[in-house]
Structure 1
Amino acid sequence: MTINCKGNLIDLSQPKVMGILNITPDSFYDGGKYTKEKNILLQVESMLHEGATFIDVGAYSSRPGATEISEEAETKRIVPVIEALQKEFPESLLSIDTFRSNVAKECLQVGAAMINDISAGMLDENMFDTIAAYQVPYIMMHMRGNPKNMQQQTNYENLLTEILQFFSERIVLARAKQINDLMVDPGFGFAKNIAQNYELLRQLHLFQTFELPILAGLSRKSMIYKILGGSAENALNGTTALNMVALQKGASILRVHDVKEAVECIKLAKALAS
């Protein structure tokens, strides 16, 4: 199972780590930490050194109730960061966490390698055309509504059936646009309550029916710390525990704040399976 990133074939039969770089002031865990170029470069250098294959850069906070910013503001925030990272780490594979096609386009033009869309094209009808034009890998996540109202949209008749149907439909549309490299993300925490998140994790293996790489984004989310008590700051151990479950259920990419621990988790899962 491979994806083509800027001419490099990345083999996802061995799971990989995607390091999170939030350059927003209000993300749920690391908001405000990485708004200056020096801090951004140091953090990316650290994540690459620890073994991240991808760096996922986001300039729009998608946490529940986050302040919405304009497309222009998102572009102005993220494009200079992509340019700086490309200059400092030209071999890095940068993923852009955006649901806006114009933001995606601007970032791809300055060297980004893939797009990570929390809406799977549902919030911007031009996204699929942009991905098709640039022929880059595309991560499609399941979400209902938008970040502001998604947590009021958790009333599923059958959670798994509806999410699997959602992806079936989006994949067909993407293939019709000649989008080749697709990945699916079930969207932990997006329009799902805690019980639904755990049901989704228990049944994550069902997503292998699409024969596409599965991305698991569990890192420090409230589904962990609301069970354990505390906050996102002390949810690393719980993240690692659930990352191991995700790997055993077929995850190909772990999207995380803490790269070293995720890389170790993958090594241990490989030893366990051998």
Structure 2
Amino acid sequence: MKKQTLRVGGRLLSLQEPVVMGILNVTPDSFHAQSRHENAQSLLRKAEEMLTDGATILDIGGYSTRPDAPEVTEQQEIDRVLPAVELLRNYFPQAVLSVDTFRAQVAEHAICAGAHIINDVSGGDLDAQMFEVIARHNAPYILMHSRGTPQTMQQLTDYQDVVLEVMDFLQKRIATLREKGVTDIVVDLGFGFAKTLDQNYELLAQMPLFEHLDCPMLVGISRKSMITKLLGVSAAEALNGTTVLNTLALERGAAILRVHDVKEAMQAVRIYNKLHETV
């Protein structure tokens, strides 16, 4: 039976109904300009807006993982992420905080500073110590499929069968995490990471197959190239496409929507919930 709760800060977060995760980037170069927040006032203002609009989780990122993103040192990432975690914990103590990092030491510092969840775009592949940190703290962990690094992933899209290979990747790492005692695992198919346009849509179409992993699914497709390339629009113009894909993802089992635009995602969730009340 699929797990429908996460333990965060001594309480249970229910995923029986889908929840929304708002993206807060403390970087100068994330692909969607309006998600960047390089000062405390901007970060607090956006966090408050997201929480007011219905976000359950705030996801803080200090290293842009867009294709061809420049390298950021571990210390630079820590220096960006920790003040943001501490600030948000102080101003919004009831908020559930996630940190988007593939580095074990960043995760360690973030958890100690008050972050609840670690969101690892590499699924443990870019830092051999990540699973040890997660197990030691027994922190909820978002396990995403990718290949390579942000600098190389777009050249690593050769699959015999993208659905089976992503499934195999996730199954093996779930088994390893469970052997280490990690109980709260969320899976992310990694839309836009080492995937072609067609592969992204194949994974979206086949999302229900991943229910067999018995883990909640996070979907992060907000304003990504699977929208912009298909529709011939910029990231700034991709909100409508994002809402369409978020709705399709909800129908296919998404438990968490990771988005730049919380208000619109919450509207999709409310419509989805209302529809399913009547079934």
Structure 1 residue corresponding to 2:107, chosen from 104, 107, 115:
104
* Superimposed CA distance per residue, residues 77-136 of structure 1 (whole angstroms, 9 cap, x where no aligned partner): 111111111111111111000000100011111100110000111111111110111111
Could you say what secondary structure the match of 1:94 adopts?
A: strand
Aligned counterpart, 1:227: 230
CA distance in 1, matches of 2:275, 2:142: 28
Structure 2 residue corresponding to 1:214, chosen from 198, 213, 217:
217
Aligned counterpart, 1:3: 6
Letter in 1 for 2:274: A
Change (3 A) 1:2 1:103: same
CA distance in 2, matches of 1:30, 1:183: 27
Q: TM-score, normalised by structure 2?
A: 0.97
Structure 2 residue corresponding to 1:196, chosen from 196, 199, 202:
199
* Structure 2 residue 94 is the aligned partner of structure 1 residue 66: no
Structure 1 residue corresponding to 2:21, chosen from 6, 18, 23:
18
- Stretches of structure 2 that go unaligned for 5 or more consecutive residues are none
Q: In the comparison of the two structures, how many residue pairs are matched?
A: 274
Aligned counterpart, 1:50: 53
CA distance in 2, matches of 1:83, 1:193: 37
Q: What's the CA shift for 1:62? A: 0.3
* Structure 2 residue 153 is the aligned partner of structure 1 residue 150: yes
CA distance in 2, matches of 1:180, 1:230: 40
Aligned CA RMSD, in angstroms, stands at 0.9
* Superimposed CA distance per residue, residues 29-55 of structure 1 (whole angstroms, 9 cap, x where no aligned partner): 026831010000000000000000000
Alignment of 1:107-126 (within 5 A): 107-126=110-129
Could you say what secondary structure the match of 2:24 adopts?
A: strand
* Structure 2 residue 137 is the aligned partner of structure 1 residue 134: yes
CA distance in 1, matches of 2:61, 2:177: 23
Could you say what secondary structure the match of 2:52 adopts?
A: helix
Q: TM-score, normalised by structure 1?
A: 0.98
Change (3 A) 1:107 1:158: same
- Stretches of structure 1 that go unaligned for 5 or more consecutive residues are none
CA distance in 1, matches of 2:213, 2:198: 24
CA distance in 1, matches of 2:61, 2:80: 9
The answer to whether the Cα contact below 8 Å between 1:23 and 1:31 also exists between their aligned partners in 2 is: no
Structure 1 residue corresponding to 2:245, chosen from 242, 246, 256:
242
Aligned counterpart, 2:90: 87
Aligned counterpart, 1:184: 187
CA distance in 2, matches of 1:3, 1:230: 36
* Structure 2 residue 271 is the aligned partner of structure 1 residue 272: no
The answer to whether the Cα contact below 8 Å between 1:25 and 1:32 also exists between their aligned partners in 2 is: no
